[in-house]
Structure 1
Amino acid sequence: MLLAAAGALAGCGTSGETGSARVGGACESPGVTAGNIRLGLLFPDSGSAQSLFGSFRAGVDARLGVANSAGGVHGRQVTYDWEDDASDPRTNLAGATALVDRGAFAILESTSASSGSAEFLHDKGIPVAGTSLEEPWTIYDNMFSYSNLLSESGSVSTYGDFVAAHGGHSAVMVVSQYTETSLDFAAELTASLKAAGIQVVATVDATAPINLEGLGHKIKDSGADVLVGTVTGSSFGQAVLAARGAQANLQVILSPAGYDQRILNVFKAIIAGAYFVADFLPFETGRPAHRQFLAAMSRYAPETQPATQQAALSGWISTDIMLRGLQVASDCPTRASLISALRAVRGYTADGLLTQPIDFRADFGKLTRCLAFVQVNPDGTRFTPVDPLPRCGQPVAR
């Protein structure tokens, strides 16, 4: 499996590595021994983004469990050290530095704070695979993701087209004013809505602790019939609760984050009818790759319940990308040869999990145009995929 961030820019692999690195029969690349390849894992095990990305590690464990039980890569077991970036860019840089200093060959990463270490990892020529929710993933050619959802260069019409098709006319945007990713996503969604003729008439803050009554009045007083949130699933659920309590007249309720059974377990019928976005085909479609993932989660990460979590599947795909790169990079890989091998991959679909095939060279820096939408059923117990699946839009300017 591979991620959606492609294209070869000159200057990657600044460590000067090319091809194989073998001296006297032994590989010389950091983290590579005769029987082991050691990666680094960087994610928020604490902090404000923990609820969004915390299960990423479980997906990593599941994918590595499957790979290592089948003999690893070129006879080597793949393992990792990990660091908690605490949802903070400065801690993210400190964690990345520590992992590289301890000899990590490459990095698996899922966080909203990757901007902290992106330049450092690029300058060191370290391959990175993970979840793309910040602009560095569309800039640095050593970073690979199965989708790109944020870029300062523009947006996609997919969100706006969806809202317009479901009867929306004007929107209120729910953000976290102290989270850069939330504000960037809000700007991107605003551009998408505008392209579909839907104006964002108000922006309201849902940073914890949330005054539900005050937030509800702001949403209702905006007069908007569309509620869009660029906050965590928990904060989005509370915003919907506030809007319901104020009897706001909403036609469409939409969040690009929060497609997770746990949000249903907490909010139940409160979020009935709400729409969520996935950058992969939903679990409810039951593809063979979904079943493989769930079986591996049950065996190698049984503590993660429910297993159908967006971050966990991202961990699975991100790790599969890394394994694929290691497989084709040569039996004695360098960091540069891994990056080059991944950039050469075309038509990648993650065994049918992704919403669009990826060409890692041609698609580098481009936003994901094709997304899947799901709706919470009337009793708030499950998600139902919304046709067409996926829905594909076009690039639009911010």
Structure 2
Amino acid sequence: MLLACDARNASTGPAAAVDCREPGVTRDQIKLGLLYPDTGNVASLFLPFRAGVDARLGVVNSAGGINGRKITYTWRDDESQTAANLAAARALVDTDDVFGIIESTSVASGSAAFLHDRGIPVTGTSLETVWTIYDNMFSYSNLIANNASITTWGDFVAAHGGHSAVVAQAAFSATSLSFADELTASLRSAGVRVVGNLDVTGPIDAADVGRRIKASGADVLVGAVTAISFGQVVAAARAARAGLRIILSPTGYDQNILRTFGDALAGVYIFVDYTPFETGTPAHQEFLRAVPSYAPQLQPPNQQAALSGWISADMFLRGLADAGYCPTRQRFITALRGVHDYNAHGLLPAPVDFATGFGQLNRCYTFLQVSPDGSRFQPVPPTPLCGSRLG
């Protein structure tokens, strides 16, 4: 199996009598923490993440684990709140005695300083600036950084004929507002005027939203909101005959979303920070085989958050393998920070350098377009599209 094991993941090691004294490490297992919102206003976005983690750990454990140790986890719910995120992280470290944490949430800022001060390694999805500040936190793709952006999104819109844009955002979400600012800077760098920001905090008044988009005169609609919210905004704009040339979103790469909105999403562009399933690489095939075995509750398996969970778990496995037979938290951080070519076995559009790339925004994305009948996603060349960094 492609991802089950490589030279660093060999199940042979020093004599079994050797005791490793780091928290979470025993003779036969390494216990991690999983931190994500199982409840709260954004929980539905992150639930598939856990399934991806389960699948990746299932594959490595079926091949003997890391240095003969099974990789397990205990999980905590951060309830989509920063205070609960800190409480959950404290419980994982001080009560559950985990070695490190795999995390996906929009409120990681709640515990980031605590985890850094305690030297706890963290891998996961970067949706806040803390992932670009603390060197114990590792993500394969930084989406948000202070006072920075990239040209990639603006370059794409300009190349496809966009001239003026309205940006949909959610006022209650710091992540949404920060990303809306990045999108605005990117669009302006390519000469695309941003003529307005549209707050689409639910419940959405479809008639009013459609009217406002049409009145803006924009020929581009860009989203910094959830897939469900953006789908509603797109449907409202279509109903109002807003005359949009380009509709672009970072969310919605999910067959469930297509089934929900049907051909209302036809022609919509979506960008992702990994190689999409449509390419059918061996790594994708491994993922699609693993999910039914280790996370059968996830249907369909090819979901964006699930693949993020798989990659986040794979990063942790890489760090554990490189940290040696008796891993320590500091050795893990040093080893993974020294990796210059991480590509998740081909799942990423470009290799990640965890040393020189620390703190920088990802600049390479794959763009897809929803088919005319609204039933599938079609990659848009060039793949990937890599821009330049701004700020």
Q: Which category describes the TM-score, using the shorter chain as reference length?
A: over 0.9
Give how far 1:257 is off: 1.6
Counterpart AA for 1:62: A
Give the equivalent residue in structure 2 for 1:30: 23
Once the two structures are superposed, the pairs formed by residues 296-311 of structure 1 within 5 Å of their partners are 296-311=290-305
The answer to whether 1:107 aligns with 2:65 is no
Aligned match for 1:326, one of 301, 320, 326? 320
Local SS of the residue matching 1:304:
coil
Aligned match for 1:48, one of 41, 44, 48? 41
Give the equivalent residue in structure 2 for 1:254: 248
How far apart, in 2, do the equivalents of 1:170 and 1:391 lie? 21
Give how far 1:258 is off: 1.8
What is the CA deviation profile of residues 178-200 of structure 1, one whole-angstrom value per residue up to 9, with x for unaligned ones? 10000000000000000000111
Give how far 1:348 is off: 1.4
How far apart, in 2, do the equivalents of 1:319 and 1:278 lie? 18
Once the two structures are superposed, the pairs formed by residues 327-342 of structure 1 within 5 Å of their partners are 327-342=321-336
Give how far 1:311 is off: 0.7
Local SS of the residue matching 2:381:
coil
How far apart, in 2, do the equivalents of 1:118 and 1:261 lie? 33
Local SS of the residue matching 1:320:
helix
Counterpart AA for 1:385: P
Local SS of the residue matching 2:123:
strand
User: TM-score scaled to structure 2, two decimals?
Assistant: 0.94
How far apart, in 1, do the equivalents of 2:347 and 2:114 lie? 31
Aligned match for 1:57, one of 50, 71, 77? 50
Give the equivalent residue in structure 1 for 2:8: none
Local SS of the residue matching 1:38:
strand
Local SS of the residue matching 1:168:
coil
Aligned match for 1:128, one of 109, 122, 130? 122
Local SS of the residue matching 1:316:
helix
Local SS of the residue matching 1:358:
coil
How far apart, in 2, do the equivalents of 1:37 and 1:140 lie? 23
How far apart, in 2, do the equivalents of 1:71 and 1:347 lie? 25
Structure 2: tracts of 5 or more residues without a match: 3-16
Give the equivalent residue in structure 2 for 1:87: 80
Give the equivalent residue in structure 1 for 2:339: 345
Give the equivalent residue in structure 1 for 2:176: 182
Give how far 1:350 is off: 1.1
Counterpart AA for 1:59: G
Local SS of the residue matching 1:276:
strand
State, as a whole percentage, how many aligned pairs show the same letter. 60
User: TM-score scaled to structure 1, two decimals?
Assistant: 0.93
How far apart, in 2, do the equivalents of 1:374 and 1:44 lie? 28
Give the equivalent residue in structure 1 for 2:225: 231
Aligned match for 2:353, one of 328, 353, 359? 359
Aligned match for 1:386, one of 367, 371, 380? 380
Counterpart AA for 2:307: L
How far apart, in 1, do the equivalents of 2:86 and 2:286 lie? 34
Give how far 1:40 is off: 0.3
How far apart, in 2, do the equivalents of 1:286 and 1:344 lie? 30
The answer to whether 1:315 aligns with 2:312 is no
How far apart, in 1, do the equivalents of 2:133 and 2:30 lie? 27
Give the equivalent residue in structure 2 for 1:118: 112
How far apart, in 1, do the equivalents of 2:207 and 2:77 lie? 35
CA contact (8 A) 1:51 1:232 kept: no
Give the equivalent residue in structure 1 for 2:89: 96
Give the equivalent residue in structure 1 for 2:143: 149
Give how far 1:155 is off: 0.4
What is the CA deviation profile of residues 93-124 of structure 1, one whole-angstrom value per residue up to 9, with x for unaligned ones? 11111111120110000111111111110001
How far apart, in 1, do the equivalents of 2:304 and 2:79 lie? 19
Local SS of the residue matching 1:243:
helix
How far apart, in 2, do the equivalents of 1:91 and 1:201 lie? 37
Counterpart AA for 2:359: G
What is the CA deviation profile of residues 318-355 of structure 1, one whole-angstrom value per residue up to 9, with x for unaligned ones? 11110111111011111000001101111111111111
Give the equivalent residue in structure 2 for 1:241: 235
Runs of 4+ in 1 over 3 A off after TM superposition: none
Give the equivalent residue in structure 1 for 2:163: 169
Give the equivalent residue in structure 2 for 1:138: 132
How far apart, in 1, do the equivalents of 2:238 and 2:322 lie? 53
What is the CA deviation profile of residues 57-87 of structure 1, one whole-angstrom value per residue up to 9, with x for unaligned ones? 0000000000111111111111001011121
Give how far 1:248 is off: 0.3
Structure 1: tracts of 5 or more residues without a match: 2-23
CA RMSD of aligned residues (A): 1.3
CA contact (8 A) 1:174 1:204 kept: yes
Once the two structures are superposed, the pairs formed by residues 1-16 of structure 1 within 5 Å of their partners are none
Local SS of the residue matching 1:337:
helix
How far apart, in 2, do the equivalents of 1:260 and 1:118 lie? 29
Give the equivalent residue in structure 1 for 2:12: none
Higher relative contact order structure (alpha carbons within 8 Å, sequence separation ≥ 6)? 1
